[in-house]
Chain A
């Protein structure tokens, strides 16, 4: 980096912090493990923010880039399987696989199980202390920085199994328990911490003294943590050089209070809320890019859109929803699910799961960022554009006409009939903001479908529910039989989970690996967003977003819903 940008960024860091950078343990895996520990243990946003800022101020330059990558969903590719890790760990500690599994079901996390099973090396055990102590330093044998490990994974991706194994075993032994945990997390590609991208962006913004919206944009899109520097990533240059870079998505919160709190109906635009894949279609530099909201580049997954490469002008960015769509109708989301997980899309997939794009917004026009314009102005440009293209699968997201809030309320009642999840409310004067915001955009979803069911299987949960039976399978009645039809993991309070856990422990009938069959006694109301036919499930149905809405302590198990009831719902809403 030779531009003046770097010096500007550096100048933003208070000089007094530079001496701390010299503390060498900031440059090893230890500091990253400490960061993760602080983030996952704190419940206070401000403490998390502070921990991130500290890290961005003092952390290893290359490690910081990886931290941004990891916290924005850019995980290293998984190079070894969970089974391989399990086998290698049991070999190392000389324990039978079944005992490893018992441990795993108690801990609820593979990475942590391994971290706990491998004995600590000498007295360095002490830096897995909650406070971190402070006696460990650069001289620690075998300690490497975060980027060393991540980049090593990448190098080993195509290596022989023995080579991978040797590296992993060596790393396990040179790291302490807490470091081993994050190492395993990186390795297994399931890196999730209780930190939103927004929080990280705010921390970066605070560190380098830039507007969070600017940061959010700069770190979006496609960049390689292995070759990008912290300074280059956060500089303006990152946008100029990366033509594929999407804008950060503007997201809505669920409506709070009543519609009347929103003021005049005339100030608002209502649209259907669609249940597909939110995406951004970008044409720049004669190339087409399709991004999902999770910031995955999914251009190849939707060959249908390829024609836009010729039809769109350079410097055009459309925000919209990728939906299963056929003959003018939006189909059940389930249809789309059949092709999103696939590596290669076959002709058959394309025929069976045809997609459309419902355009919501226009973010860039003729190479100019127009997000600051009012919604009405952006919409007018969007309408011009979509109409001129005349592609049957490219639709404007229809605006729902209404004169009064009451009228809108009755319109919302129609949502499920057209496979919509409810309504979106957007203030006509609103700019296109960054991230999830209150005020100008609201989502107003329809109430979920519900069904009363009895718990029949239970399994121990993960994370903060480790060693507690919190993952349940539910059944409906079919004559005098019980038919399992869904799992649900959320919706109870900690206290209720504790009660159900105690019930499971006292009332389990059989044990199948980690799963207990339970006396069918506890009745719950299960809420879900949609229902579709499925030949993978015994019940013949698959639910969308099932969760426990309440514990029906008032209801005996013989009064639960029946398979017939589920089939009726499928008939009504499952198409």
Chain B
């Protein structure tokens, strides 16, 4: 019996009787991060990082939550569980599971470049590593985020000159907070969509220092947004809600923007390949750093990535999960 098995309900540790990011309600769920395809409602008890806690409460409502620090040990029967920074979004964690000297690590979603608030991705040595592969093809190589921020800032300035509002499209949890960082250097007037506002409020109340933003409300006159910067979630893109910003230019911020076709399909004026996931080299580096004898590859380009790992001498297998439906993992709805 492997320490973690792949079941209909999700990744299951029988020895400790808990699930990691289950997609159906269970008794005990250990949660990597607060995106809805990893943190689903209905379970009896949740364990997460304390930065994730307010976000889980925001998204799943009241429930039985236990929050821990990174590296803090929690015991399920004789199984030791600890959380370690994954660098994906605020609070996102890899889950380390140890039983009788055997170590498994579930990556959740991760990125290897530090973004300033998600915690720096920590390589953990283990016997078995379960990794995501959202951008598991070598065409996905991110530019350093400072360069992308610089591009975004230039774009905003260009729009200002043309008297256009800059509307940045990014996922409300994760991407939006990074964008605020990039944007606050060039403007003081930042307006956000309600979905981003909710996350913003939750984080601010939890003690995070984020740039001041204003929530967009229906009563705001059109002139309010003139030449300002707006941050909105993907669901708003192309909706009537956007009309109030006219004339505006839309910039989509997602790893998928790496490929021209995606950018053109989304009809974006600009695309910024800013991702909260590891790129190809990031994935490779992370997998190698674990020193794992066996690797399972979940959601993304799992077939190509695991085949490549096998060719370079790493025993890798594809696993089907129900992850990858929220945030930039799903390129169609986002």
Contacts and interface: CB of A to CB of B under 8 A. Distances in A.
Given A130-B251, A501-B332, A125 B143 contact: yes
B139 A116 contact: yes
Contacts of A466: 259-262, 265
B61 interface: no
A133 interface: yes
B137 A126 contact: no
A467 interface: yes
A207 to B, nearest CB: 21
B332 A502 contact: yes
B129 interface: no
Interface in B242-271: 251, 258-265, 267-271
A106 B251 contact: no
A108 B261 contact: yes
Contacts of B155: 129-131
Given A99-B308, A108-B261, A126-B147, A131 B270 contact: yes
A462 B262 CA distance: 10
Report whether over half of chain A's contact residues are helix, strand or loop; otherwise say mixed: helix
A120 B143 contact: yes
A34 to B, nearest CB: 13
A156 interface: no
Contacts of A123: 147
B143 A102 contact: no
Contact of A464 (B143, B151, B251, B261): B261
Contact of B258 (A40, A102, A116, A132): A116
B151 A130 contact: yes
A498 B262 CA distance: 12
Nearest to B148: A129
Output the residue of B158, B258, B265, B331 with the most chain A CB within 10 A.
Answer: B265
A28 B90 CA distance: 43
Nearest to B158: A131
A555 to B, nearest CB: 25
Interface string A146-185: 0000000000000000000000000000000000010000
A459 to B, nearest CB: 14
Interface string A99-117: 1001100111100110011
Interface in B194-230: none
Contacts of B140: 116
Nearest to B155: A131
A494 interface: yes
Interface residues of B, number: 34
Interface string A240-258: 0000000000000000000
A468 B141 CA distance: 20
A96 interface: yes
Nearest to A125: B143
Contacts of A133: 150-151, 154
A43 interface: yes
B259 A467 contact: yes
A112 B138 contact: no
Given A130-B155, A131-B154, A131-B270, A102 B304 contact: yes
A23 interface: no
A40 B311 CA distance: 38
Output the residue of A41, A113, A181, A494 with the most chain B CB within 10 A.
Answer: A41
B143 A112 contact: no
Nearest to A133: B154
A291 B207 CA distance: 73
A112 B272 CA distance: 16
A112 B151 contact: no
Nearest to B260: A112
Contacts of A198: none
A117 B138 contact: yes
B139 A117 contact: yes
A99 B150 contact: no
A116 B259 CA distance: 8
B151 A129 contact: yes
Given A99-B138, A102-B301, A107-B139, A130 B271 contact: yes
A204 B155 CA distance: 28
A116 B141 CA distance: 8
B259 A112 contact: yes
Contact of B261 (A129, A181, A463, A498): A463
Contacts of A99: 137-138, 304, 307-308
A119 B280 CA distance: 12
B147 A125 contact: yes
Contacts of B139: 103, 106-107, 113, 116-117
A125 B138 CA distance: 17
B316 to A, nearest CB: 14
Given A130-B155, A131-B151, A43 B265 contact: no
Given A103-B138, A113-B139, A130-B271, A96 B311 contact: yes
A119 B271 CA distance: 19
A95 B251 CA distance: 32
A93 interface: yes
A181 B260 CA distance: 10
A103 B262 CA distance: 14
B332 A93 contact: no
Nearest to A108: B261
A93 B138 CA distance: 10
Contacts of A98: 307
Interface string A14-51: 00000000000000000000000000111100000000
Contacts of A181: 260
Contact of A107 (B143, B261, B269): B261
Interface in A68-127: 93, 95-96, 98-99, 102-103, 106-109, 112-113, 116-117, 119-120, 123, 125-126
A120 B331 CA distance: 25
Given A103-B138, A130-B155, A130-B251, A40 B260 contact: yes
A103 B269 CA distance: 25
Contacts of A498: 332
A126 B151 contact: yes
Nearest to A130: B270
A130 B262 CA distance: 14
Nearest to B332: A498
Interface in B55-104: none
A119 B141 contact: yes
Contacts of B251: 130
B267 A43 contact: yes
Interface string A488-503: 0000001000100110
A129 B262 CA distance: 16
Interface string B7-29: 00000000000000000000000
B158 to A, nearest CB: 5
A43 B258 CA distance: 19
A553 B272 CA distance: 37
A494 B263 contact: no
Contact of A41 (B263, B308, B332): B263
Interface in B278-334: 301, 304, 307-308, 311, 331-332
A50 to B, nearest CB: 11
A62 interface: no
A107 B264 CA distance: 12
B261 A462 contact: yes
A120 to B, nearest CB: 7
6 contacts: A98-B307, A107-B259, A116-B258, A130-B251, A131-B154, A498-B332
Interface of B: 137-141, 143, 147, 150-151, 154-155, 158, 251, 258-265, 267-272, 301, 304, 307-308, 311, 331-332
Given A96-B308, A129-B150, A494-B265, 18 more contacts: A93-B138, A96-B311, A99-B137, A102-B137, A102-B301, A107-B139, A117-B139, A125-B143, A125-B147, A129-B154, A130-B251, A130-B272, A463-B260, A464-B262, A464-B265, A466-B262, A467-B262, A468-B332
The 9 closest A-B pairs by CB, nearest first: A466-B261, A129-B151, A464-B264, A130-B270, A116-B139, A464-B265, A131-B155, A102-B304, A131-B154
